[in-house]
Structure 1
């Protein structure tokens, strides 16, 4: 019997290459919907897939709200007609005008962004006013990631400074908790509860200043199940669509399946126990220590060294891995791995059926 990942016409795929399995992607989307119950509370982050076709699968599954990290991702979502797009980034410099150009170009998409500093909020508002645009914004809270966002105790002052700006409309709070990645479920739950408590405290403090309910956008993939149980916030997982080795090993409590793989081939047989494949660190995310990829069809193959175009594997007996031998690999971190490819082969019923461009890996599509 074929394993789920086998590609019968794999000779059509040059290597190294990225492969998507749409049936498994669909299964992950449906799984996320089951976890949250109400798809209107699901705001998936497209930084993982960067692909119009995958984003359209989310849209066709009844998901109407999206989150992204770059202007190119935001434009990709405008191209497919996504109704609601949060740029989970505070635009500065040229990014402000690029975002406003998107708003003009894709009027069917409601764009919003983050702010965490009064001076920048004023700069955004000034440009919005010059273009006759009122922009929805979320106050970005630092709930422990210590990367961006304003400290919760200072959020009220920022809200007070932004409210008079006529071209900005505060619609919610954004709290990303990427610092919470504990494998132990109970510890992860405690971390999510603490991040939520910080967000809720700000919410209660500022809500009396608004005549409409504010939105709370919480977390990423590791804490998605925790926030899904709370009915008063939106959840923004991203990795779930493809899954990867890192999350799969760290979070066995999460029911998602790997849906994207790397195809690589043996290009040199070094000796009795070593072969080299064409999967350098230009072809798989390299921020993690080795191993950066695990092979489904031959888990005994152990990466021992890597350079730009090459990966050396230690194997039990190199006679079983001749030149051209195909490995199917699961990257440790799928999100930056996808960004290394300009297209992905699409695999249905064990066959290559086409290719999908990774359109938003570019820093600029049009705007």
Structure 2
């Protein structure tokens, strides 16, 4: 990980921060806009972009992408899919397999928004049959992508074993096979040449399957590949859509692991000092409930307190070791960059929008909910 370089312009400081109780999520609108524009500059055609909205979960942020000409999106929950539909997104891929009641919910969503092109994932015959049965009961046809396991070992079928599944899906009346989905989130090489090589190896499996399907079944399927770390490795490929997500806000983890991707921090958490424990220890109100806690400490780095070292955290408290506690006072505001922004955003029901160092409005993190209406 690269060494931290303290900010000299204090871009993150908010003039009216006293209006905001802590902990809180801040969203810097101009930086979000610049991250979208940088993303567009990194691809030859905006039509190959299919951003994942699991990071932002906000209708207003999705609208910003729509305004920049991005029309295809990926999501992980039905609530996120509904959020996209309400913003006017014309093409939504739910990158998740519909098990249990999810298929019924998704069918109801499809019928509620007939102008939106919806699709979902499947990786086995039993699930494809389940989706088809639900679709038939609703009198609709569901579009599906086959989820491929190209090394993540989380979901998906190995490409070399997928042809029988292709044939099975093509035999179903109420399911339409439209694409192949390959997420390579396991590829996190900082070296760009190594990242490209590993990406190529995974993609070759998808491309080989894609070719066989074209030859055997005369079907030209879509291919959706990658996330923020690997989308540049896929951007030059023909007939491939790229689906970065974290780029929109970026975080400490990606900023330092992938320095070739110059996205800026656009979302921060704030916390306040609530106690001076001793000459080298302070405590803030940034507990487990306010910043993603799946990573080991440090889970957040403070832009205006780079020497603060986390030593302990509980539900509502965050203890920091500092060089000189006498330089802090209760009520002092610390601005933090989470190591992982995506699950951090999901901990908040709203974000305070910052423009020109002022809080201008609040945006609901609407898709943090598991269910909105459907």
Fold equivalence (TM over 0.5) = yes
Secondary structure of 1:290's counterpart equals coil
Other-structure match for 1:35: 42
Is residue 111 from structure 1 mapped to residue 118 from structure 2 by the alignment?
A: yes
Other-structure match for 2:159: 152
Other-structure match for 1:284: 291
Is residue 92 from structure 1 mapped to residue 99 from structure 2 by the alignment?
A: yes
1:196-253 per-residue CA deviation (whole Å, 9 max, x = no partner) reads 1010011011113455521100011100111112232000000000000000011111
Is residue 333 from structure 1 mapped to residue 340 from structure 2 by the alignment?
A: yes
Is residue 354 from structure 1 mapped to residue 341 from structure 2 by the alignment?
A: no
Other-structure match for 2:209: 202
Distance 1:322 1:243 in 2: 30
Give the CA RMSD over aligned residues.
1.0
Residue 107 of structure 1 and its aligned partner are, at CA, apart by 1.2
1:244-287 per-residue CA deviation (whole Å, 9 max, x = no partner) reads 00000111111111100001000000011110000011110011
Other-structure match for 1:253: 260
Secondary structure of 2:42's counterpart equals helix
Distance 1:47 1:317 in 2: 39
Distance 1:290 1:251 in 2: 20
Q: 1:79 aligns with which of 82, 86, 103?
A: 86
For 1:113-262, list aligned pairs within 5 A.
113-262=120-269
Q: 2:20 aligns with which of 7, 13, 16?
A: 13
Secondary structure of 1:31's counterpart equals helix
Secondary structure of 2:207's counterpart equals helix
Other-structure match for 1:101: 108
Distance 1:321 1:290 in 2: 22
Other-structure match for 1:23: 30
Distance 1:208 1:136 in 2: 21
Residue 322 of structure 1 and its aligned partner are, at CA, apart by 0.3
TM-score of the aligned structures, taking structure 2 as reference length:
0.97
Which of 346-355 and 202-211 deviates more?
Answer: 202-211
Structure 1: 5+ residue runs without aligned partners? none
Residue 329 of structure 1 and its aligned partner are, at CA, apart by 0.2
Distance 1:231 1:142 in 2: 21
Which of 202-211 and 350-359 deviates more?
Answer: 202-211
Other-structure match for 2:331: 324
Secondary structure of 1:366's counterpart equals coil
Distance 2:291 2:342 in 1: 10
TM-score of the aligned structures, taking structure 1 as reference length:
0.98
Secondary structure of 2:260's counterpart equals coil
Secondary structure of 2:289's counterpart equals coil
1:50-107 per-residue CA deviation (whole Å, 9 max, x = no partner) reads 0000011111110000000001000001111100000000101100000000001111
Secondary structure of 1:37's counterpart equals coil
Other-structure match for 1:345: 352
Secondary structure of 1:103's counterpart equals helix
Secondary structure of 1:282's counterpart equals helix
Other-structure match for 1:55: 62
Distance 2:44 2:318 in 1: 43
Secondary structure of 2:161's counterpart equals helix
Secondary structure of 2:185's counterpart equals coil
